[in-house]
Amino acid sequence: MRYLKYGFMYLLAAIWIIPLVWTLLTSFRPRDLIVSSGWSLQFTFDNYITAWQAAPFGQYYLNTIEVVVGILAIQLVTVIFAAYAFARMNFWGKDILLMLVMMQIMIPPDSLIVQNYQVLKHLHLIDTKLGIMIPYFASAFGIFLLRQTFKSVPYELDEAARLDGCNLLQIIMKVYAPLAVPSIISFGIVSISHHWNAFLWPLIVTNSPENRPLTVGLAIFAHASETGAQFAEVTAATLIITIPLLLGFFIFQKGFINSFMHSGVK
């Protein structure tokens, strides 16, 4: 039974990795051999060079990193303080507000695109990086995740911190936040992965290469008249934008898994 279970796991892993292997091999194959039915050991880096030179992927990288880091930085502030308020503070309407926050998890973000776009238009933030980031400055998932972690912290630690002269801000940052590091890491992984791969909202908000992230840049590159249906260049460009996430996963795989296990995320 044990070998059958591991065999099934390896089979699922092989099925999962097939698209990645196909993309990797296609990105290195010469253009004229992409649609051929035969097999060849000819490989080339020209596809990556052509893709990199055909679109400003360097600018797209900077835009994506700025957006992802900016969103995560603001989210950590809002999520930590909101989670503490829901976990430890008593105020009127607390349960109702928490229910409203949790309802956001069930509402698809795409259903709010029109309303968010109208707000940004009135704020004159269309085609700006800040316009991409603003709708995601708070996270219902992050609030729920850290709230559950904060609720498990013993009240005695609060009392000890107050006896040492800590104010509310110091209690949150020196007692609760350090104890929630695994949950914070888990939330950071989810946030970075989600916003690195976000496409629809950045596509609607941005109009210029100076503000486009990698996903929108890849879509425009794939439909550009210069490349047409050249799968070699498109697959090379796809790997260009996914390499950071893949490398991050393979390098920090153990830390990723441990962070999710400690935070209780399955």
Strand, helix or coil for residue 68: helix
Cα 50 to Cα 46: distance, rounded to the nearest angstrom: 6
Neighbours of 260 (CB within 10 A): 17
Cα 116 to Cα 110: distance, rounded to the nearest angstrom: 10
The answer to the question of residue 169 being in a domain is yes
Neighbours of 215 (CB within 10 A): 19
- Residue 106's pLDDT is 83
Cα 232 to Cα 211: distance, rounded to the nearest angstrom: 26
- Residue 79's pLDDT is 94
The answer to the question of residue 9 being in a domain is no
Structure tokens at 47: 């596809």
The answer to the question of residue 85 being in a domain is yes
Query: How many structural domains is the chain composed of?
Result: 1
Question: What residues of the chain score a pLDDT lower than 50?
Answer: 225, 227, 265-266
- Residue 251's pLDDT is 75
- Residue 27's pLDDT is 82
* Residue 150 near residue 84, CB atoms below 8 Å: yes
The answer to the question of residue 226 being in a domain is yes
The answer to the question of residue 246 being in a domain is no
Q: Which helix (H) or strand (E) holds 201?
A: helix 200-205
Which CATH number fits the domain that encloses residue 171?
1.10.3720.10
Neighbours of 196 (CB within 10 A): 19
Residue that is written with structure tokens 């996270």 in the block: 139
Pick from 166, 165, 172: which is nearest to 149 by CA?
A: 172
- Residue 105's pLDDT is 83
Domain holding 219, by residue range, is 59-230+259-263
CA dist list (Å): 258 to 124, 179, 186: 43, 15, 9
Give the global pTM.
Answer: 0.85
- Residue 93's pLDDT is 83
State the average pLDDT for the chain.
84
